Amino acid sequence: MKKDAFALVFADDKGKVYDFPGLEATGMKAGRFFELNAATLVPLPESSELFLLPGRLPVGRDPETGAFRTLEGDPYSAGSPCSAVAAFIPPGWTLAHSAAFAEVPGAKALPLFAYGAVAFRDGRFWVSAVRVDEDARHDERLIDPSAVASGIAGLRALFPKNRLVPHLENCATVNACANAKNFFLGRFEAPVPTSPVCNAQCQGCISLQPDGRDFPATQKRISFVPDPEEIAELALFHIDRESAPIVSFGQGCEGEPTLAADTIEKAIRLIRRRTSKGAINVNTNASRPEALARLFDAGLTNVRVSLNSVREPYYSRYYQPRGYDVTRVAESVRVAKRAGGFVSLNYLSMPGFTDSKPEHEAFRRFVGENGVDMVQWRNLNYDPVRYFRELGLEGADEELIGVPEALESLRDAFPHLRMGYFNPVKKN
């Protein structure tokens, strides 16, 4: 191995993680393998986790021949099996390569996480990723569990009849939702889930998965529509105690919020009757421009539109929308801009798709034509091999430009476009 090369990382049959300098670390995009180097590798950020990938063998690069090779077994224990290893990185970082692996026959789909390419050199782990946001609002090291517990007790005592309080308590304590924890700490973004239903069935929906899939949803979807008064009560409480508050509809534990637009509209009017302070945001699939227009009329300030692609058929193959298509999404963005709203795209990024030339060019056009204000880069939590199968792109050989280059290209084309991860605050 070259002196400055990064070594492959694998796990033994007990889950212990090792480096193996006999092969160089490798990344994967769209099922193809790539050499990893200092251009995209960064020291593994604090709060990252390493996952071993059952049913997947690590793939590395032979330093002599340059060929990519599957590690069939534990190189330190003859006859013992081994597994590929991936990194799950914290908010604010976007993956540039997925972990490189070969599936063994019959391997089940990976659960709903993002699987970054990991490497080892100089006594530490590295990951192929780019920093997109410096904001530390979801940094678990800054969230004190005992303060969250007292926040929960306080809110329960203050609002004993408000059904959102126990729901958010579950989000904070069981689902480990950073927004919910911060809400009980009285800071940043107050999540207000409202909709138990959705008009899409995303392949990687974290709040509802149909029976028969290999993996479960990771959160329990809200089972009731809160009253406008319940929403306004918590929203106003949060607005009063945070200097730059955000109240946010459309959370991981719900369906599509604009399907509860009647309730949300009433709630926003109740809030805005009392104060113009703070941002009121909706995270949405943007399928219902008319509903969005009503929410802006009531006092909504921000919208974050989630999408994996601006192109049919890739949008539909992932979102499986019922009764709308991606043209409605674009219309919603224009409606929001006409209403004076701040529009973010929650761009669900998968190395090899998001940084493919055709996707990037279409995305850049979409941003320019529709006057998008911000791109929030989210790692798509989905099996990085199955994703290309679901999209019908397995074996496709699209030209790739690279994730850092895709970010740079947007910055060059739109100097005022914000890049980041979190919803922006409104200065009051």
Q: Which residues bind ligand SF4 (CB under 6 A)?
A: 198, 200-202, 205, 207, 255-256, 285
The least CB distance from residue 337 to ligand SF4, in Å, is 21
Specify whether the CB–CB gap between 302 and 344 falls below 8 A. yes
The least CB distance from residue 74 to ligand SF4, in Å, is 38
Under DSSP, the state recorded for 358 is H
Output 56 or 288, the one with its CB closest to ligand SF4. Answer: 288
Interhelix angle for 261-274 vs 289-298, to 10°?
20
The least CB distance from residue 246 to ligand SF4, in Å, is 19
Specify whether the CB–CB gap between 184 and 152 falls below 8 A. yes
Output 185 or 200, the one with its CB closest to ligand SF4. Answer: 200
Tokens 């019908």 sit on residue: 392
SS3 242: coil
Output 128 or 346, the one with its CB closest to ligand SF4. Answer: 346
* Longest CA pairwise span in the chain (Å): 71
- Provide the token pair at 145: 């569990």
Rounded distance, CA 254 to CA 256, Å? 7
- Provide the token pair at 410: 């947007």
Output 40 or 309, the one with its CB closest to ligand SF4. Answer: 309
Output 306 or 354, the one with its CB closest to ligand SF4. Answer: 306
Terminal Cα-to-Cα distance of the chain (whole angstroms)? 56
The least CB distance from residue 200 to ligand SF4, in Å, is 4
The least CB distance from residue 399 to ligand SF4, in Å, is 29
The least CB distance from residue 116 to ligand SF4, in Å, is 21
Output 236 or 348, the one with its CB closest to ligand SF4. Answer: 348
3-state helix, strand, coil in the chain (%, to 5): 30, 25, 45
